[in-house]
């Protein structure tokens, strides 16, 4: 009787205390449930030794979740690569505290009492929340998660090609390289098409090279005519024909040139030569 009573007490006591809540499995499909309420979320992998050792402590925290008024979840990154990219998980196990869509990474001790104190004493308020551009609920982090999922699918495809179909590794690399190039070309064409559609090109104006050249020749001819007109005006003002003006200017230039005067010695030499003749 005593043994039965003790067993019944041990079985009923956790229920009375509000214990016995299990860890909730979070996947790519239901992860948005963590955006409401208060959560402690662990990222783990079955092959991780540290995760296996920590699993018992995490289960004990889940047993106290009703008393702490929180929810406790776990994410298997091997089955949900999109969440590991969305939360930028770089080490295992990684723990996040989530309060009404506000994310904080837990970096304190991994003992049961330290985890409970972090929640019960509201020590999470001392931790700086994740920046908005790195928030797992943002669109950009959703894109990162998509690429993580795509990488895992490519890895699964590579495994299937090598193991099931017997394609050598270099053959797989060649196939992936061709697929990457073709995908880049298609995306490039789509982007160019969208840019032309959103920002259509404007017709270019006609070339002004010939026009400018002709304009330059016309200006040069106008300058020559203007010079002739100016010379004509000057000649009319002085009552001298244009030809006379040019002749007088030539004479003035000749007068400005110094004349060479023969020295007496040269004259004497010339006279001597005449006497000899």
Is there a domain that residue 31 lies in?
yes
- Cα 272 from Cα 200, distance rounded (Å): 100
Per-residue pLDDT of 164-208, as tens digits, reads: 888 898 988 899 899 999 999 999 999 998 988 888 877 766 655
- Per-residue pLDDT at 193: 87
Residue 27 included in any domain:
yes
**For residue 240, is it within any domain?**
no
Would 84 be classed as within a structural domain? yes
Q: Exactly one of 16, 48, 172, 195 is catalytic; which is it?
A: 48
Residue 227 lies inside a defined structural domain of this protein: no
The residue assigned the tokens 């669109």 is 139
CATH number at 19 reads: 3.40.30.10
For the question of residue 48 being annotated catalytic, the response is yes
In a domain, 275, yes or no: no
Q: How many CB atoms lie within 10 A of CB 175?
A: 14
Is 6 noted as a catalytic residue in this protein? no
- pLDDT of res. 21: 64
Q: What stretches in the chain show pLDDT beneath 50?
A: 1-20, 209, 211, 240, 242-245, 260-277
pLDDT tens for each residue of 97-113: 999 999 999 999 999 99
CB count in 10 Å sphere of residue 58 = 21
State how far the alpha carbon of 186 is from the alpha carbons of 124, 194, 214, 277, in Å: 47, 12, 48, 109
pLDDT on residue 242: 47
**Total number of domains in the chain:** 1
pLDDT of residue 11: 38
> Looking at the domain assignment, is residue 181 inside a domain?
no
Task: Give the list of residues 6+ apart from residue 38 with CB closer than 8 angstroms, or none.
Answer: 69, 70, 71, 97, 98, 99, 100, 119
Provide the whole-model pTM: 0.60
Nearest to 61 by CA among 43, 52, 77, 74: 74
List 6, 51, 172, 195, catalytic entry: 51
**176 inside domain:** no
Parent domain of 115:
12-140
């Amino acid at each position: 009787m005593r043994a039965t009573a003790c067993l019944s007490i041990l079985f009923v006591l956790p229920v009375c205390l509000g214990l016995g809540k299990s860890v909730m499995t979070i996947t790519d499909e239901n992860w948005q449930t963590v955006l409401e309420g208060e959560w402690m979320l662990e990222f783990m992998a079955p092959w991780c030794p540290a995760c296996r050792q920590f699993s018992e402590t995490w289960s004990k925290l889940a047993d106290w979740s009703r008393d702490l008024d929180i929810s406790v979840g776990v994410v298997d990154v091997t089955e949900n690569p999109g969440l590991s990219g969305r939360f930028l998980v770089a080490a295992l196990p990684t723990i996040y505290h989530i309060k009404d869509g506000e994310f904080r990474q837990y970096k304190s001790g991994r003992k049961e009492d330290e985890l409970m104190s972090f929640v019960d004493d509201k020590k999470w308020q001392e931790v700086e929340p994740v920046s908005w551009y790195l928030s797992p609920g943002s669109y950009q982090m959703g894109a990162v998660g998509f690429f993580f999922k795509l990488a895992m699918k490519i890895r699964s495809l590579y495994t299937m090609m090598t193991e099931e179909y017997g394609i050598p590794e270099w053959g797989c690399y060649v196939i992936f390289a061709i697929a990457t190039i073709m995908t880049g070309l298609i995306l490039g064409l789509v982007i160019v098409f969208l840019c032309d559609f959103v920002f259509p090109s404007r017709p270019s104006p006609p070339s002004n090279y010939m026009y400018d050249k002709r304009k330059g020749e016309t200006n040069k001819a106008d300058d020559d005519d203007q010079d002739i007109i100016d010379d004509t005006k000057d000649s009319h003002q002085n009552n001298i024909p244009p030809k006379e003006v040019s002749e007088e200017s030539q004479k003035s230039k000749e007068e400005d040139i110094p004349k060479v005067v023969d020295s007496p010695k040269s004259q004497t030499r010339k006279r001597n030569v005449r006497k000899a003749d």
